[in-house]
Amino acid sequence: MIRFLENPAFNEAHNISSSLVARYLLSNAYVFEADLLLANPAIIQKYHYTSNFLAIRKKRTDDWCFDVKNGVITEEKVGGENCWQMVGISYWNEADGHRLSEDIPAVYQSPGGKERYWEQVPLVYRKEHYAVEVRECFDDDICEIDTFRELKAADSSYDV
């Protein structure tokens, strides 16, 4: 059930251009960053009723993270204390997926829109339209692979 899409604007815009191409496929759907290896497939669940981002509770991080109140993401930022570190996996329910299909093009076409990241649409620029929850996961659940060295460490078949 994986579908590949062509993004002709990939080299000239942040990942918001990819979400623009996929905007009609976001209802009742997961969105994954491409550099993640799931060590715990159980974090992907079949049924959700609310839109959410997977995140790891942290005392301190220099990475992308969320402030959360009553289980709902109130702010996305880089670096923080007593926050939730974003891991790049989210789920979008039917209503929010439809709303994203309208809000993504609006943000993309706004001044500076091509420089935005797709998740900033519901978490920053149109956050009044959403109540995105945080869903807890743990460091051991997901491995982010940013370099060939990290890929070789995760999969010895690349160690040639």
Question: Which tens digit of pLDDT belongs to each residue from 89-147?
Answer: 999 999 999 999 999 999 999 999 999 999 999 999 999 999 999 999 999 999 889 89
Fold of 16-39+47-158: Spore Coat Polysaccharide Biosynthesis Protein SpsA; Chain A (3.90.550)
Per the CB < 8 A criterion, the answer to whether 57 and 139 are in contact is no
Domain positions in the chain are: 16-39+47-158
Task: Give residue 105's identity as a one-letter amino acid code.
Answer: P
Residue 26 C-beta-side C-alpha neighbours within 13 Å: 27
Task: Give residue 32's identity as a one-letter amino acid code.
Answer: F
> What secondary structure letter does DSSP report for 121?
I
Question: Which tens digit of pLDDT belongs to each residue from 56-82?
Answer: 999 999 999 999 999 999 999 999 999
Per the CB < 8 A criterion, the answer to whether 119 and 76 are in contact is yes
The structure tokens 């979008």 sit at: 92
Residue 154 predicted with pLDDT over 80: yes
